[in-house]
Structure 1
Amino acid sequence: MGIVYSNDSTAIAYDKAGSGLPLILVDGALCSRTNGPNGPLAALLQQHFTVFTYDRRGRGDSGDMKPYDIEREVEDIAALIEEAGGSAFVYGISSGAALALEAANRLSSIKKLALYEAPFVVDNSRTPVPEDYMEQMEGLLTSGRRSAAVKHFMRKGVGLPAPIVAIMPLMPAWSKLKAVAHTLPYDTLLTLDHQRGSALTLNRWSSITVPTLVAVGGKSPAWMRNAMQSLADVLPSAKLETLEGQTHIVKPAALAPILNNYFLK
């Protein structure tokens, strides 16, 4: 494990593996470098790249500093890029894709960008995230109800059916999810403005000219596929790729060849 210090002196923990051009993997909500899809993905990418996985602030071995601001998370990525040699490729999944977009909008050191299923709601194919979603989330966390906060995220944020959410506390990983529940508002700030049922908010990133791969699972719901098509349409140098047979829980073995092919071109 290595440590870099962000602009506000927050310690950001990372792992580095492989050789080749640097590639930074950005996690989505509730994940970290030891719990989530990017660890197994890194193992498949390290043959061609120097792969950095890291704990986003507030998670794992990384520090945190209040108040939270999206700019601080962008500065965390900037610190990792500096550690990597001054430029890097960046891949983000789910709300990590939204963070990667924010980073590409502000950092010229990102040379190529790849995104998998940023959780945007841009039309009426899914119920928008409720107006009071963040207020409810913060209320649950303030009262120490971490389990309820994770359920709130899964039900109202992700849109999972209530019966599935009800049994999720039986999963072995539930305790790990609760441990980082306090970071859910961070992911909410990254995504909430783009979950209201309109594609117009995506114009925020229309000035990103870095080559971008926008990927989506062929078995993901229509609202997600529509959102990624809209995002690819907004980004000037983007192409959309559909991974047939995949969902939001994308298999690293299906994703790694796509990323290898894209970043090595």
Structure 2
Amino acid sequence: MPKVKSADGSAIGYETHGTGPLVIVVAGATQYRAVDTDTPKLADILARRFTVVLYDRRGRGGSGNTEPYAVNREIEDIEALIDALGGSAMLYGMSSGAVLALEAAASLPRKVTRVICYEPPINTAQSKDDAFSDLAEMEAYKARGDGAGAMEAFMLSVGTPPEHVEGFKQSPQWAAYAAVGTTIAHDFRILAEATKTDMKARWRGIAQPVLVVNGDQSFDFMAAAADTAAASLPSATRKTLPGQGHGPAPDSVAPVIIEFFS
């Protein structure tokens, strides 16, 4: 598995599919190559036109992490991938990874050329104080090294029925998810920092074209979240995918990505 060295010395593991303009997929919370089966299928479709990069965000799978964590470290990880693989890239970010992709676009205006955000989870009903309270809870799990506890708390917080969580904890897949549970704090920090100030002011420098997408079968707040993200950006367009939830089917989202990135 190839790796690049980020600015702080952390090794970031990745893989590439196909040839063509560079597209980096920025994963959301709990998502990494050891457990993610849909994103490789998406990469295989996109590989007919693009060089698609799948990477483990820091602290997950094949990627290291140097403490203390900061959102800028994750932007540096994306920059290291871009520098190693071509000098410029388009970003497809999913869930909290969509917000990270926007933060990278703001910080790397000459290296990030276009962005697609799939369901950035900006909950407009949540106060800034609540966002930082949730962050503090996840950082407490991280400080204790309790990835399993963090994963369970996260699943319950997004509405997974308790009996389903208990069943999942008995499954063979649980260990792989619990192994990255402490990194959920990273995603909560990305969201808390991005929404703590006026997002229009924060992202006013993003001149790159951005497409914000949601599925019409997702969590109730996702359509409003996508609208809020798009309204906060200077050059954003909106699209809703019929029949799709928070994890869209590869063959449903691929045509949207191909059209916007071509």
Shift of 1:135: 2.6
Q: In the TM superposition, what whole-angstrom CA distance separates every residue of 1:175-206 from its partner, at most 9, and x where no partner exists? A: 1110111211111100135678xx94454223
Tell me the C-alpha RMSD between the 2 structures.
Answer: 2.2
Distance (whole Å) between structure 1 residues aligned to residue 59 and residue 193 of structure 2: 22
Report how many residues are paired: 259
Q: In the TM superposition, what whole-angstrom CA distance separates every residue of 1:103-155 from its partner, at most 9, and x where no partner exists? A: 0010021111111011110137x9x9565322322333434432221111122
Shift of 1:83: 1.3
Q: Which residue of 2 aligns with 1:229?
A: 227
- 2:51 aligns to what SS in structure 1? strand
Structure 2 CA distance for partners of 1:122 and 1:202, relative to 1, 3 Å: farther
- Is the 1:129–1:195 Cα contact (8 Å) retained in structure 2? no
1:29 aligns with 2:29: yes
Shift of 1:213: 0.8
- Is the 1:194–1:202 Cα contact (8 Å) retained in structure 2? no
What TM-score comes out, normalization by structure 2 length?
0.91
- Is the 1:119–1:195 Cα contact (8 Å) retained in structure 2? no
Alignment of 1:132-211 (within 5 A): 132-156=133-157, 158-193=158-193, 200-201=198-199, 203-211=201-209
Distance (whole Å) between structure 1 residues aligned to residue 70 and residue 130 of structure 2: 21
Structure 2 CA distance for partners of 1:202 and 1:228, relative to 1, 3 Å: farther
- 1:105 aligns to what SS in structure 2? helix
1:123 aligns with 2:125: yes
- Is the 2:146–2:182 Cα contact (8 Å) retained in structure 1? no
Per mean C-alpha deviation after superposition, the further-off stretch among 238-247 and 24-33 is 24-33
Alignment of 1:23-102 (within 5 A): 23-36=23-36, 37-102=38-103
Structure 2 CA distance for partners of 1:42 and 1:10, relative to 1, 3 Å: same
Q: Which runs of 5+ in 1 are unaligned?
A: none
Q: In the TM superposition, what whole-angstrom CA distance separates every residue of 1:46-89 from its partner, at most 9, and x where no partner exists? A: 01101111111111111110101111110110011111211111
Per mean C-alpha deviation after superposition, the further-off stretch among 206-215 and 239-248 is 206-215
Letter of the aligned partner of 1:152 in structure 2? A
Distance (whole Å) between structure 1 residues aligned to residue 34 and residue 178 of structure 2: 15
Q: Which residue of 2 aligns with 1:104?
A: 105
Distance (whole Å) between structure 2 residues aligned to residue 223 and residue 200 of structure 1: 19
Q: Which residue of 1 aligns with 2:218?
A: 220
Distance (whole Å) between structure 1 residues aligned to residue 63 and residue 176 of structure 2: 15
- 1:4 aligns to what SS in structure 2? strand
Q: Which residue of 2 aligns with 1:244?
A: 242
The partner residue of 2:253 within 252, 255, 258 is: 255
- Is the 1:121–1:194 Cα contact (8 Å) retained in structure 2? no
- Is the 2:123–2:221 Cα contact (8 Å) retained in structure 1? yes
Q: In the TM superposition, what whole-angstrom CA distance separates every residue of 1:227-254 from its partner, at most 9, and x where no partner exists? A: 1011111211111110000000211111
Q: Which runs of 5+ in 2 are unaligned?
A: none
Residue identity (%): 38
